[in-house]
Amino acid sequence: MEYMIGLEIHCQLTGLASKLFCPCACNYRGSEPNANTCPVCLGLPGTLPLLNKKAVEFAGMISLALGCRIPDEIMFYRKNYFYPDLPKNFQLTQYNAYGITSIGVDGKLAYGEKSARIRLVQLEEDPGRLVYEGGSMEKSLYTLVDYNRAGVPLVEIVTEPDFTDPKDVRDFLNKITSIVEHLGICDTNLEGAVRCDANVSVAGGNRVEIKNVSSFADVEKALRYEMTRQKTMVSRDIEVKAETRHWDDARKVTKESRSKEEEQDYRYFPEPDVPSIELGGDFTKSLQRSMPELPDARKARFESMGLTPHVAAVLIDNKELADFFESAIKMHNSPKEIANWLVTDLMGFVDEKEKEAGHYLSGIKAGPAHIADLAKLVEAGTVNRATAKQILAQVVETGEMPSDIAKKTQVTRIDDAGALAQAVDAVFAAEPSAVADAKKNPAAANFLLGKVMQQTKGRADPKAALELIRKKLA
């Protein structure tokens, strides 16, 4: 069966100091309810919106990163609807029905081998938050409203319905995350900083919107659930209703919206209090000049250092990892070695759930200096790889430097040829039957090597030890 999936991604511009139309802090998290407000974001009578020009720049940067065209002039529109979290009972947003006035249009973004078309990028204000003390609307006698978030700048990215597979959606969202992180405009780790609504239809049927998905990771799950639901309905000849469904995070299902959402007429019209903003070619040109390095370019640069495309991709997908890598190679210029320690070994210590949530390095006490130090120890032959792994496990827990651990526990490799020969002699004396075996079958020498490593608590250089064993067997 054929599926069509489109996305609406909301991304808070957390990299800004102030809200979209007033001087209140953009960072509302941790404030007392309704403390981060002023007459403007509360929509008090007589107040006027004052456009944060930096927000226009940030939205322009996203537009360029998504391959969008930026029009010469942009405008804000009022979207009129009544809702208690909306102080003015209209939202300032952008609208393209009467001419292109949103910050970006007609883009395209490649992810992996595929790509998706971007219909538009628009700048708008976030509403306040409804707080249910009983935990949900059903379980609460009343609703509290917190306007701290009201007016926080949001960028909405709307794609064409170009996806057919939830896995692709996941990859696409990872790419978006990496882009906004690289642009430095959004800290995607903050609760609620990125949200995604999805719409899905099966076999040319009605479109169902899925809302209330609070993390990118759950979008894939919500889509899989919804696709199965629609497929089952189609196979039983039941018509799929055009509707909005909410993602139930606890039960991991989509469900019909409790309040019946009527066909809304938002009565869009241009906001008279924010004069249209002339951008022109100079705006785009100067933005292009000031754009930071984007994930694709960075990945190419990493590959040119000798990293495999896979390793480079893992690093790029999470800006935190890529930055970690770049700091480490500044301390010890050995990209391949460091990348491998990072991607293969260090990631092994990260909880899968944390990774799912995009928190790759939380709770890990190893920093770039530690990995650089570790790589240096291995490359200098001071410790062998197996020992280095044990050291890393300790570093992750304690944050001590690898070279300090190596010294303290004297796991430094046995360099002294005499000491190594002694250990080999001891093993030969203790394992006569294994020695006899090994003389007939060269592969059995590995057993003896294992014994030597055991005896030396891993401090022996396995290469040197094996050589010595072979010599002794011959």
Q: Least CB distance from residue 70 to another protein, whole Å? A: 21
For 21-47, b/e burial (b = at least 16 CB within 10 A) is: bbebebbbeeeeeeebbeebbbbeeeb
Nearer to another protein among residue 274 and residue 464 (C-beta): 274
Q: How far apart are CA 75 and CA 93, in angstroms?
A: 9
In the complex, least distance from residue 281 CB atom to another protein, rounded to whole angstroms: 23
Phi and psi dihedrals of 335, rounded to 5? -55, -45
We find the least distance from the C-beta atom of residue 48 to another protein, in angstroms, to be 5
Shortest distance (Å) from residue 87 CB to another protein:
7
Query: What are 367's two structure tokens?
Result: 């920093």
Is there a contact between 228 and 250 (Cβ–Cβ < 8 Å)?
no
Query: Measured from the CB atom, is 260 or 289 closer to another protein?
Result: 260
Least Å from the CB of residue 20 to another protein: 12
Of 17 and 48, which CB lies nearer to another protein in the complex structure? 48
Element (H, E) at 62: helix 53-65
CA distance 370 to 368: 5
Which residues are 256's β-sheet partners? 245
* DSSP conformation letters of 72-126: SEE--EEEE---TT-TTSEEEE---TTS--SSEEEEEEEETTEEEEEEEEEEEE-
Q: Which residues of the shown chain bind another protein in the complex (CB under 8 A)?
A: 39, 42-51, 78, 80, 82, 84, 87-90, 98, 143, 145, 265, 267-269, 272-275
Nearer to another protein, 272 or 418 (CB): 272
Q: Smallest distance from the beta carbon of 85 to another protein, in angstroms?
A: 10
Q: Min. distance of Cβ 143 from another protein in angstroms?
A: 7
Nearer Cβ to another protein, position 84 or 348?
Answer: 84
Tell me whether residue 91 or residue 159 sits nearer to another protein (CB atom). 91
Q: Spell out the residues 6+ positions from residue 21 whose beta carbon is closer than 8 angstroms to its own.
A: 40, 41, 49, 50, 51, 52, 92, 125, 151, 274
Please state, as a whole number, how many other Cβ atoms lie within 10 Å of the Cβ of residue 141. 7
CB 257 to another protein: min, Å: 14
Strand 194-202, strand 73-74: pairing: unpaired
Specify the residue, 46 or 204, whose C-beta has the smaller distance to another protein.
Answer: 46
CB of 239 to another protein, least distance (A): 26
Q: Where are the beta strands (DSSP E) in 240-393?
A: 243-248, 253-256, 269-270, 277-278
For the CB of residue 212, give the shortest distance to another protein in the complex, in Å: 18
Closer to another protein at the Cβ: 46 or 432? Answer: 46
What is the spatial order of strands in the sheet that 77-80 belongs to?
90-93, 77-80, 269-270
- Looking at the Cβ atoms of 82 and 429, the one nearer to another protein is 82
Residue number, 101 or 384, with CB nearest to another protein: 101
Contact 28, 149 (CB under 8 A): yes
**At how many degrees (to 10) do helices 295-304 and 166-183 cross?**
90
Query: Nearest-CA neighbor of 13 among 75, 79, 57?
Result: 57
